[in-house]
Amino acid sequence: MGSPTLGIGIGVSRGAIVEVTSLPASGVFAQAMAPAKTADTSKGKTLVDAKGMTLYTFEKDSGGKSACNGQCAMSWPPLKAEAGAKASGDWTLVTRDDGSSQWAYKSKPLYTWLKDTKPGDVTGDGMLNGAWHVATP
């Protein structure tokens, strides 16, 4: 028997079929929403936010700290954590320079990309001379 998940959904967005599958539920996440799900994209299985938008990691982030602030964060919005969010398993929280909290997966802060316009887009992969990567489960 496999691990329970938080849900599975299939949707159509602008003619593209996107399958979204939640990550395995464990501990706290079995009772609360996970901060991200997995989806099949042209880059394979990737992490996506609640709207199905692809999540990315940034090579310049290190030590559980985001290096993408100011103008960078306007183009690459961080996956914000709500007040009271709790880390669990591979999911951790990063305190940003502005004091807000951001979700990280396996110690890598997560971001969306402003130029991805629909679920399944992966246009940010490889940006900035390969410093940005789709986040994978």
Question: For the segment 32-52, what is each residue's pLDDT rounded down to a tens digit?
Answer: 567 999 999 999 999 999 999
pLDDT at 34: 79
The answer to the question of residue 61 being in a domain is yes
Residue 28 has φ and ψ, to the nearest 5°, of -60, -40
Q: Long-range contacts made by residues 28-36, C-beta under 8 angstroms, separation at least 24? A: 28/86, 28/88, 29/88, 29/89, 29/91, 30/4, 30/6, 33/6, 34/6, 34/91, 35/79, 35/81, 35/85, 35/91, 35/103, 35/110, 36/79, 36/103, 36/105, 36/110, 36/135
**Number of domains into which the chain is organized:** 1
- Confidence band of 31 (pLDDT split at 50, 70, 90): very low
Range of the domain at 125: 8-134
Question: For the segment 50-91, what is each residue's pLDDT rounded down to a tens digit?
Answer: 999 999 999 999 988 999 999 999 999 999 999 999 999 999
Residue 69 has φ and ψ, to the nearest 5°, of -130, 175
The answer to the question of residue 3 being in a domain is no
The answer to the question of residue 54 being in a domain is yes
Nearest to 120 by CA among 61, 38, 25, 58: 38
The answer to the question of residue 2 being in a domain is no
Whether the model clears a pTM of 0.75, i.e. scores above it, the answer is yes
The answer to the question of residue 104 being in a domain is yes
The answer to the question of residue 1 being in a domain is no
